[in-house]
Amino acid sequence: MGAPHTKTRRHSKVDQLPAELQSAVDRLLIEGATYEEIETFLKEKGHEIGKSSIGRYGKRYLNFYQRVRMIEDQAKQINSNAGEGLSLEEAASKAFTSEVLDTLIDIGIDKEKGAKQLPKLMLAFSALQSSSVSREKFKADIQRRVIKTAEDVTKLAKKNGLSDDTAAQIREKILGIGK
For the stretch 119-133, pLDDT in tens is 776 777 677 777 777
pLDDT at residue number 118: 67
CB-CB contact of 72 with 97 (8 Å): no
User: How does pLDDT run across 35-63, given as a tens digit for each residue?
Assistant: 999 999 999 999 999 999 999 988 888 88
Domain ranges of the chain: 9-76
Give the number of C-alpha atoms closer than 13 A to the C-alpha of residue 169, restricted to the C-beta side: 5
Residue 48's φ and ψ, nearest 5 degrees, are: -95, 100
Contacts of 104 (CB under 8 A, 6+ apart): 114, 118, 121
pLDDT at residue number 100: 66
pLDDT at residue number 44: 94
CB-CB contact of 90 with 78 (8 Å): yes
Least Cα distance to 134 among 89, 84, 71 occurs for 89
The average confidence (pLDDT) of the chain is 75
User: How does pLDDT run across 134-159, given as a tens digit for each residue?
Assistant: 877 887 888 888 888 878 877 877 77
Residue-wise burial string across 118-143, b where 16 or more C-beta atoms lie within 10 A, e elsewhere: beebeeeeeebeeeeeebeeebeebe
